[in-house]
Homo-oligomer: A and B are copies of this chain.
């Protein structure tokens, strides 16, 4: 099969280059020369650069969302009616990501960074693609979060989910650069699993902080103790 060889080589090269440089900063010529295929191959096999971006996400996200769904199934079965805890829910997500079969050792971190970029770079088409393609597992995750934090007001929960999302997306989207700094400053090396192991407790603690009680707007900025 000649086709799938070319297609896969393009996807591999694109995935890696997108992750380390961003989408618009990566040209088709970089991709095709890294993949050692002809420039026209991208438009022949995928149709356009945007479609290639979608294909890169689809190749990872489709099996991942299946894995995630069954992880949620298993978790809910194990909990037998009572809603899973916050830690269980967050770990089910992390687990599914880390356990995914990887093309290579950089697999997860590459993809975490791509997801971060998807949120961060305002590529309208990508956002739309992801929303209409993977709304189901996303919605289910949100529902589980809600059931795991019944003590929170809807507004607090809403904002704290954004905080979690931000911490995750941001960290993952710059994790290579961050790791370089860490390696230089502290002389240690960190795997994605370890980052996740540090991130989840941080998120869980923040999520479970006492429900925010707002003072009158006027002196919101005053509390210093």
Question: Chain B contacts of A162 at CB under 8 A?
Answer: 167, 170-171, 174, 178
Whether A206 sits at the interface, judged by CB under 8 Å, is: yes
In the assembled complex, the Cα of A186 lies from the Cα of B158 at a distance in Å of: 9
CB of B170 within 8 A of CB of A22, answer no
Task: Please measure, in the bound complex, the distance between the C-alpha atom of A166 and the C-alpha atom of B172, giving whole angstroms.
Answer: 9
Q: Are B182 and A158 in contact (CB under 8 A)?
A: yes
Q: Determine if A188 is an interface residue (Cβ-Cβ < 8 Å).
A: yes
Complex alpha-carbon distance, A182 and B157, angstroms: 11
Q: Is A194 located at the chain interface by the 8 A CB criterion?
A: yes
Contacting B at CB under 8 A, from A3-27, are: 20-22, 24-25
- B199, A209: Cβ atoms closer than 8 Å: no
Given contacts A206-B205, A206-B206, contact A171 B188 (CB under 8 A): no
CB distance from A197 to the nearest CB of B (A): 5
Complex CA–CA separation, A155 to B170 (angstroms): 17
New A-B contacts (18) at CB < 8 Å, excluding given A116-B170, A121-B121: A25-B121, A85-B225, A87-B223, A87-B225, A119-B170, A120-B170, A158-B185, A159-B171, A159-B190, A162-B174, A166-B166, A166-B170, A194-B214, A194-B217, A196-B221, A204-B209, A205-B208, A206-B206
Residue contacts A-B, CB under 8 angstroms, 25 given: A20-B122, A22-B24, A22-B122, A25-B122, A75-B224, A91-B224, A116-B120, A116-B170, A121-B121, A122-B177, A162-B171, A164-B167, A166-B168, A166-B169, A166-B170, A166-B171, A169-B170, A193-B217, A193-B220, A193-B221, A194-B214, A196-B221, A197-B212, A198-B212, A201-B209
